[in-house]
Structure 1
Amino acid sequence: MGSDGTDAFLEMLAAERGAALNTIRAYARDLADMGQALHARGLTALEVGEGDLREYLSGLARQGLAPRTQARRLSCLKQYFLFLAREGMRPDNPAALLDAPRLDAPLPRFLSEGEVTALLDACEPEADATPARRRRLLMARAALEMLYASGLRISELLSLPRRALDAAPGMMLVRGKGGRERMVPMSARARAAARALMDMDAGRESPYLFPGRGGAQPMTRQGFDRIMHDVALRAGFDPARLSPHVLRHSFATHLLAHGADLRALQVLLGHADIATTQIYTHVMLDRLRDAVTRHHPLAQAADGAE
């Protein structure tokens, strides 16, 4: 499929945008699917028109693909055809005016502050716990403290080098999406939990704060999920309610509930666009109502009249 620019497009995503390997693979699958559909109609990506693409996308809907999958597929096509136009492989971008399916933005799932405390308490090892058991719970405690204290993505947490804690006091250097680095605050409790894990792992030769087996690679997402599953059961939770993203949502929700600014939250979460952060504005509704009730002169007058 190289003659239609797909190879060059995927190489650009990796080299210039720092796209993750899973993203590149997903885009390759999306373009291959489109290529097969166009080939069945005697077309190629270099000659397809806007109407042809609309028909292709309508076919995805008829196949029962979820709206979010359709939207991702369209995002891929828009970027791909824009690339072809910029590289002079096409005179136009036939995907420029295509609209994505309407998505209902689900409210983020999060834990209560009491539930987070219960999870952290569940990481306390039993008096007769084996060294391996103690280390597993110590790793769980460090991970939970750091995820909840900073709102890190799980990929950011597991790829942390041991030297990440060597940044300015109270801060930690994180490499996020697209290789972008940012400094995030890290609470004293979270740092202490991470240091305790590092002390226990002092004899392990690994550059990672959360090493996998052998130490040469970081812990896998699957390995981390198993640890979270065990902690959830110890805390009396349904394990399906606990995930790294739920902890990230809990971090954001609780910060806003205690008066944090949405722009500050955007920086902490590493969102490139404030629109992504706005999914958390549901938390601010009660604060906004309270602010109007307490500070708006007409609201106060109405209260006094009752």
Structure 2
Amino acid sequence: MNSSQITQLLEVCDVQEKTIVLLIVDSGSRRQEVCNLKIGDVQIENGMIRVVLSKGNKDRIVFIGQATINAILDYLPDFNYRDKESPLFKTKNGKPFNGDRMQKMFLRLSKQSGIKVTPHMLRRSFATLSLKFGMDMVSLQMLMGHASIETTRRYIQLLSDDLQNAQKMQAPLIG
């Protein structure tokens, strides 16, 4: 997904859905990692999130920007006064968000926005956009929680325009 598609998707989101979409695309977190987040895992003051026991039973740190921090504060205005062990995301009836619920949410958002979207597509967008805006592969690998840089490479989806522009800027014989 590109930036304009993400913007189009956000236009049909409610406050919780917007927070989830921004969190995934801003941090590269996996669907289940987002479902498992507790309020205490998020440090609003510095945009740091502790992902506990992610894939491979490893903890890692990811970061979010101001837009995602603002979305969390819009979603939970009393964030700092909530129980730190409480799930960050809950269903309308108060149960912790789970993978099935999130999958249904993304099916509905796909239909409403006219853009096919899954949490995994947003994770791939994080990887692609991060690289496009200058992040190095090793940092990206660490943020995504990949054991191998080859796994990270498979996530990268450079558009042909990006490749053409890179070639024009770097190729030695372009005149």
Common fold by TM > 0.5: yes
Q: How many residues are treated as equivalent by the alignment?
A: 173
Tell me: CA distance 1:291–1:235, structure 2 relative to 1, closer, same or farther (3 Å).
closer
Map Cα deviations across residues 130-165 of structure 1 (whole Å, 9 max, x no partner): xxxxxxx22111100101111100010000001122
Q: Contact 1:165 / 1:191 at 8 angstroms: preserved in 2?
A: no
SS of equivalent residue, structure 1 residue 119: helix
String of CA shifts for 1:242-300, please: whole Å, max 9, x gaps. Answer: 11101111111122222221111111111011110111455287656645543454x15
Structure with greater contact order relative to length (CA < 8 Å, sep ≥ 6): 2
Which of 264, 268, 287 is the equivalent residue of 2:139?
Answer: 264
- 2:50 and 2:61 in contact (8 A); partners too: yes
One-letter amino acid of the structure 1 residue matched with residue 11 of structure 2? D
TM-score (norm 1): 0.50
Partner of 1:187: 65
Q: Per the alignment, in what secondary structure is the counterpart of residue 23 of structure 2?
A: helix
In structure 1, the partner of 2:121 is 246
Distance 1:286 1:181 in 2: 36
Q: Please give the root-mean-square deviation of Cα atoms over the aligned residues, in Å.
A: 2.8
278 and 209 in structure 1: CA distance in 2 versus 1, 3 angstrom threshold: same
Distance in 1 between residues matched to 2:47 and 2:78, nearest whole Å: 22
**1:112 counterpart = 2:17:** no
Aligned residue type for 2:55: K
Moved >3 Å (runs of 4+): 200-206, 212-215, 284-297
The residue number in structure 2 matching 1:223 is 101
In the alignment, the residues of structure 2 paired with residue 180 and residue 167 of structure 1 have an alpha-carbon distance, to the nearest angstrom, of 22
**Could you tell me which residue of structure 1 aligns to residue 20 of structure 2?**
143
Give the Cα–Cα distance (whole angstroms) in 2 for the partners of residues 233 and 296 of structure 1.
42
Q: Tell me what 1:210 maps to.
A: 89
Would the alpha carbon gap of residues 228 and 200 (structure 1) be closer, same or farther in structure 2, given more than 3 Å must change? farther
Cα separation, 2, equivalents of 1:200 and 1:138: 15
- What percent of counterpart residues are identical? 28
Which of 1 and 2 has greater Rg? Answer: 1
Go from structure 1 to structure 2 and tell me whether the alpha carbon gap of 1:162 and 1:204 turns closer, same or farther (over 3 Å shift).
closer
1:35-46 mapped onto 2 (5 Å cutoff) = none
- Could you tell me the TM-score, scaled by structure 2's length? 0.83
State the partner residue of 1:75.
none
> 142-151 or 164-173, which moves further after superposition?
164-173
